Amino acid sequence: MVVVTGQNKVSGNPDDAMSSSDAEDDFQEPATPTASQAGQALPLLPQQFPEVVPLNVGGMYFTTRLSTLRRYEDTMLAAMFSGRHYIPTDAEGRYFIDRDGTYFGDILNFLRSGDLPPRERVRSVYKEAQYYSIGPLLDSLEDIQPLKGEKVRQAFLGLMPYYKDHLERIIEIAKLRAMQRKARFAKLKVCVFKEEMPITPYECPHFNSLRFERSESETKLFEHH
């Protein structure tokens, strides 16, 4: 801290004198670093976790062993509780995960003993397993219904060239028909046939045979190519 002991000589021109406020501005003491600035300057130490971990997942409370959360090394939960990342705690000291905890119990049951959820919760638990990157659980869920049927369906559709393009065209025709009839929905009959493989984009079959008859009062025939 610098202390000014001298006094300026008073002259006839007031501009020549330095005011006390100017002197204070020139010799201000450096500001004390704030707590946040001090925290940023210091590296965070690895976070330590107890053997029994209390959890708050979106307002739902769970308790499990630390080894359960670390069961599979390449999962998000193992990374979170590895000590390399900081996890906030709630007012009761529970480690907080900002995620809907409705199906987190099913995640813990699989990590504990490999238990799988009932069929009605498979899709929802699968979504949570994707978020937490639990590969073994994803593989297990894909082998049971309804995900197994969806997996087979997607594999079948992968064998059908231009399926998505054709589906969009079919929907366009259905919308047009519903608008013409002022109806809430429309029915279409679609014939699917097999082509020789492989098929090139220039050999893509057209929907020449995809058509629908209008009402008897209308004589025109709608075709989609």
Per-residue pLDDT tens digits for 124-149: 999 999 999 999 999 999 988 888 88
- The pLDDT value recorded for residue 180 is 85
Please give the single-letter amino acid code of residue 56.
N
d(CA 173, CA 32): 72
Summarize pLDDT for 109-127 with one digit per residue, the tens: 999 999 999 999 999 999 9
Q: How many Cβ atoms are within 10 Å of 17's Cβ, its own excluded?
A: 13
Residue boundaries of the structural domains of the chain: 52-144, 147-188
Q: Higher model confidence: residue 83 or residue 224?
A: 83
CB 185 within 8 A of CB 179: no
How many beta carbons lie within 10 A of that of residue 117, not counting itself?
22
Of 24-28, 135-139, 202-206, the least confident: 24-28
Which CATH superfamily groups domain 52-144?
A: Potassium Channel Kv1.1; Chain A (3.30.710.10)
Q: What is the pLDDT of residues 163-175, one digit of tens each?
A: 777 888 888 888 8
